[in-house]
Amino acid sequence: MDPFSDFLNLLNARSVFSGSLQTGGAWSISFPATDLVKFWGVVRGSCLLQLEGDPAVIDVRPGDVFLLRAPRLHVLATDMALPPVPRDDVLIDRSGAHARHGSGDDFLMIGGKVELALQTAGALLDALPPLIHLRAAEQPLDTLHWLLHRLVHERDGGEPGAGAASAQLAHLMFIEILRAAFAAGQVPDAGWLRALADRRIAPALRLMHGAPGHPWQLAELAAACAMSRSAFAAYFKAVAGLAPLAYLTMWRMRLAQRELREHRTPLAQLAQRLGYGSESAFSHAYKRTLGHAPTRRTA
């Protein structure tokens, strides 16, 4: 797999389709903070968005798509002066996955949540901005809009397997939002997320992800990117936030963390697989990178 798919697989990202909200007239709804990554897209209508602790009010337009990774209460409303109704009160009378509020159907949004492996979630969350806002007026979001409308179809169609199809579509939404964030430049100045979107160091990343146990040398990785050792090392660190071989160590330890959690692989075997000459060398690198000694129960 490509490095981005590797990270999604490592994180065991699982998207869960939450449902839809239809509103009309004048309305205001407060949404509680959640530890899960949350995303939603506006099928029709417009409103305002405000995150708790942030005085800025965001203008929400038809076709806009959002991803919220920070656990923050937020309010969607036609007028921020209106007293917000708690989301849970709105959901009391919902029909299946569809909730209605207010009068009419001026506004419709579809939302989902993403569950990540607990031990490795920080690797993704720390690399994401608190809020990704993809504006339909500023960049093509055709794939995301198709997914949104397909989610509406699955919600309303009553076809066999609608629940499973919705979950898969929601997962594709999550991936496409991150891709669009790459294209829109909504990624931090340095970090693994930016590194995965950088074409200049992509050959080196593919080598390290393809054979993490190989004793890669800086010269090999630089040559794969058609760069000198010094230029490659400086550029890689500026993009990824880590030196190339430090990135390799981090990736090895993330793989080890998953292996220990899911399969309880013996440490000596895992050390050999990931390119370490001894169990003690592997354990030292693991503790130095992740802050604790490797155990067979890390979840």
User: What pLDDT is attached to residue 1?
Assistant: 62
Mean pLDDT of 159-182: 85
Q: Do residues 247 and 236 lie in contact, with contact meaning Cβ atoms separated by under 8 Å?
A: yes
What's at 69, amino acid-wise? R
Beta strand pairing call for 28-31 and 58-60: unpaired
What pTM was estimated for this model as a whole?
0.80
Lowest mean pLDDT among 76-90, 178-192, 197-211, 243-257: 178-192
The pLDDT, as a whole number, for residue 120 is 60
| pLDDT tens track for 141-167 | 999 989 888 887 887 777 898 878 887
> Tell me, what's the pLDDT at 117?
65
* Whole-Å CA distances, 30 to 103, 122, 228: 18, 26, 53
List b or e across 196-232, with b for residues whose CB sees 16 or more CB atoms inside 10 angstroms. Answer: bbbeebbebbebbbeebeeebebeebbebbebeeeeb
More confident residue, 20 or 28: 28
Confidence of residue 296 (pLDDT cuts 50, 70, 90): low
pLDDT band with cut points at 50, 70 and 90 for residue 299: very low
With a cut of 90, say whether residue 123 has pLDDT above it: no
Q: What is the mean pLDDT of residues 164-193?
A: 82
Distance CA 223, CA 293 (A): 35
Average the pLDDT over 6-23 and give the result: 79
Tokens 């419709």 belong to 108
Q: Tell me: the pLDDT tens digits for 206-258?
A: 999 999 999 999 999 999 999 999 999 999 999 998 999 999 999 999 889 88
